[in-house]
Structure formats: C-alpha cells, structure tokens
Amino acid sequence: MSTQPLSDTAKDGPAWRRRKNDRPTEIIAAAREMLEAKGLSGVSMARIAARAHVSEALVYRYFDSKQALINQVLTEWAEPFITSLMAKLDGATTARQRLVLIATSYLRGMDDTPRLHRVFYQELRWQDYAGSPLHKLNRRFANTVVEAVEAGIATGELRADLDAPMVRDMLFGGLEHVAMRTSFAGRPVDVEQQARSFVETLLIGLATK
C-alpha cells in the first residue's frame, strides 16, 4: 500500500469542483463591490453576474432573488463588525467606556464602508427584513447601547430616570449626522476624537451647572 501523501487534488477534490464551490463567494464579492461602487439602484443580477464572470442563470441558482443576495452581502459585512464590538465590550467596565467603544465602532464602520452603510440604513426597504438574520444582527448592535445605559443605571453611574432607547436613538442619529458631513461627503474624520467628544457631550449634557 502506498504511503505517499495525497496530492492537493486528491485531498480537496478536482479543480472544477473547487471552482464550483467558490462560486457563491465570488458572486457575493462581486455584489459587494458593485454596492460599494454604485449603491443599491446601480445593482442588478445581470450586472453582478457579469462582474463575477458567470451567467445570470447561475447567480439565480444560488440566490433566488436580488433581495436574497443583497441580504447575504450585508449579513456577511455586518457580522464580523458586531462580533468584534461584542468582544471589545466584554472588557469594558463602565458605561462611558462602553458607549465610547460603540460610538467609535459605528463611526469607523461608516468611515470604512460609507456606501454599504447608506445602503443598509437609508436605501434598504425589503418586505421580509423583519426577523431576517440581518435584522437580528442590527437589533443586537442597537441593543448594545440600551444594555450599556441600563448597566450604568444599575451601578449608579448614570441617572436612574434615563430612557435607554432614547439614548440609543440620540447616539446613532447624531453619529450618522457626523458621518454625513464627513465620511459620506468624502471628508476626513478623526473617528476616535469625534466618538469621545460625542459621548462626553451626551453624558455631560448642554446646560451649565
């Protein structure tokens, strides 16, 4: 019996099979590139197929609609971002630290991939979004603010009468406006400084003592 190591072909299967297994990933990558370049209105299944160098029929074999494909693109984009944030939050000990981490991650994400953020938060209007994996990821991210505020209330760091969902809306809404005048407009932004400044303003308030 031969004891020679298996060749790459024997271990991983013939080249044509490996190429076939790569196709969904290549289609998703092509769709993401087009979304980042042109936004949702500039993307079609035919254009994605051309970008991925496959037939439109093959794209539909893996994704039954443009909606399903775009959802997968955004899910794969959002998941590592949220996983990374959750790991960082595990090491934070105060509400201030948690809110700065969340604000920094959100603003950096908008600065790194402004078009995908605009697609997700401004352009996406799918009927079956509620309950989808993408919706669950977004809720998980939004809840990080609520949880940070509630933890701060429990430890006495924050006022007991705070409305945590309102703080969440103020944080994300305000940071989106920061991004609109910087990252979305092609202007540079000091992400960490802006995030810290925004959270400090939110926590300290506007009125003099």
**pLDDT tens digits for range 18-41:** 466 689 999 999 999 999 998 888
Assign 122 to helix, strand or coil.
helix
Query: If you search the block for the tokens 């977004």, which residue do you land on?
Result: 138
CB 76 within 8 A of CB 70: no
Contacts of 204 (CB under 8 A, 6+ apart): none
Cα 14 to Cα 8, 10, 11, 25, 73, distances in angstroms: 9, 7, 9, 18, 28
| pLDDT surpassing 70 at residue 14 | no
Looking from the CA of 168 toward its CB, the CA atoms found within 13 Å total: 16
CA 107 to chain centre: 11
Cα 7 from Cα 11, distance rounded (Å): 6
DSSP classification of residue 2? -
Q: Write down the mean pLDDT value for the chain.
A: 88
pTM here is 0.84
pLDDT of residue 175: 96
